[in-house]
């Protein structure tokens, strides 16, 4: 271990946080959707992938990364709204496996559609010029784009927290997650909450797709491993817990980045080992509990 300096370790930790940022965003959407709609969204990885493609398309069209960054989540969220309204809504109240199978099938529809539209081979999504290079963060030089990733995730997490904990809609969402029937009795059309939540969750998945694109390039299948990882994060954090999604996302990012430093061949399996360990000690995940939306 003497070969590895403290700085390198610290940098690797920050790298882990940046990696975790994407997981946080994905797991937030998954948890939100599960917590309210009781839908295990197997299309979440596909929404992520569609986000990357919509992002590259809009980037190509406008030549402006920031425009693409704002419009992509809106576009993907709009697809999410349509999916909830048309496909998922008829399945509520029929057991958890119906929406699960539907979204599973839907993910293949998305992948195939993207293959038809954009081709089988991947594309590159260049890092926007203003976010290239590295900056000194005190412990060494760190890629600016990854710092940006951490920053924007922090903004989204804060915005979501504020929305849910501090606004009128947030109160309705929290109540709806725990007792949809009483919410209906108090005059609220719960189907509108579910629609909104699915739109928000998939919109954030789309956003994480654009954000991840410059790091890894984009292919129609890029959402498949991401979905598995996002599920691990959600399970580690506790299904339906938003705070759990944030903590577990960062934890998983750090674990992956640390194992790739010390035992690169273990990096891929490390998160599954982490999941197994967490579940052994806390079967509900870190912050999971009976009620939803912690």
Partner 1 sequence: MLTIDNLSAWYRHSHILQGVSIEVKRGEIVTLIGRNGAGKTTTLKTIMGLVAKSTGAISFDGHSILGRPAHERFHLGLAYVPEDRRIVPGLTVEENLRLGIIASASRANETQMIERIAETFPRLKQRLPQQGSTLSGGEQQMLAIARAMMAEPKMILLDEPSEGIMPILVEEMFAQFRTMKAQGTTILLVEQNVELALSLSDRVYVMDQGVIVHQDSAAALIANPEIQERYCSV
Please pick, from the candidates 50, 156, 172, 252, the single residue that binds partner 1 as defined by CB under 8 A.
172
Q: Would you count residue 181 as binding partner 1 (CB under 8 A)? A: yes
Give the range of 27-35, 117-125, 151-159, 172-180 binding partner 1 by CB under 8 A.
172-180
The residue (of 115 and 174) whose beta carbon lies closer to partner 1 is: 174
Regarding 185 and contact with partner 1 (CB under 8 A), the answer is: yes
Least Å from the CB of residue 277 to partner 1: 28
Q: Which two tokens stand for residue 67?
A: 């425009």
What is the C-alpha to C-alpha distance for residues 280 and 28, in angstroms, rounded to an integer?
23
293 binds partner 1 (CB under 8 A): yes
Residue with tokens 């010390």: 262
What 3-state DSSP class applies to 222? Answer: coil
- Alpha-carbon distances, residue 151 vs 18, 59, 181, 206 (angstroms): 9, 21, 38, 17
Q: Cβ of residue 82: shortest distance to partner 1, in angstroms? A: 22
188 lies in the site for partner 1, by CB under 8 A? yes
Question: Between residues 184 and 282, which has the closer beta carbon with respect to partner 1?
Answer: 184
- Which SS3 state, helix, strand or coil, does residue 134 take? strand
- Cβ atoms of residues 166 and 14 within 8 Å: no
Which position among 85, 89, 174, 284 is part of the footprint of partner 1 (CB under 8 A)? 174
Report the distance separating Cα 106 and Cα 44, nearest Å.
10
Two tokens at 157?
């997490």
**Interface with partner 1 by CB under 8 A: which residues?**
168, 171-172, 174-175, 178-179, 181-190, 291, 293-294
């Amino acid at each position: 271990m003497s070969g590895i300096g403290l700085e390198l370790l610290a940098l690797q930790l920050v790298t882990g946080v940046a990696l975790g940022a994407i997981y946080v965003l994905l797991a937030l959407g998954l948890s939100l959707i599960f917590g309210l709609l009781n839908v295990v969204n197997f299309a979440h990885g596909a929404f992520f992938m569609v986000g990357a493609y919509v992002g590259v398309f809009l980037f190509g069209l406008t030549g402006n990364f920031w425009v693409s960054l704002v419009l992509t989540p809106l576009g993907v969220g709009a697809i999410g709204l349509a999916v909830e309204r048309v496909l998922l809504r008829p399945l509520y109240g029929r057991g958890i496996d119906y929406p699960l199978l539907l979204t599973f099938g839907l993910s293949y529809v998305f992948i195939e559609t993207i293959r038809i539209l954009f081709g089988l081979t991947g594309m590159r999504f260049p890092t926007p010029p203003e976010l290239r290079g590295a900056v000194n963060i005190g412990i060494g030089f760190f890629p600016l784009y990854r710092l940006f990733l951490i920053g924007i995730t922090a903004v989204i997490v804060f915005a979501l927290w504020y929305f849910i904990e501090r606004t009128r809609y947030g109160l309705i969402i929290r109540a709806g997650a725990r007792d949809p029937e009483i919410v209906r009795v108090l005059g609220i059309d719960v189907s509108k909450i579910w629609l909104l939540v699915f739109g928000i969750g998939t919109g954030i998945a789309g956003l994480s797709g654009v954000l991840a694109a410059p790091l890894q390039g984009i292919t129609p299948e890029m959402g498949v491993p991401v979905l598995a990882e996002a599920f691990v994060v959600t399970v580690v954090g506790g299904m339906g817990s938003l705070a759990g999604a944030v903590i577990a996302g960062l934890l998983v990012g750090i674990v992956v980045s640390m194992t790739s430093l010390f035992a690169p061949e273990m990096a891929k399996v490390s998160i599954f080992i982490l999941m197994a360990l967490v579940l052994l000690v806390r079967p509900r995940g870190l912050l999971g509990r009976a009620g939803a939306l912690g």
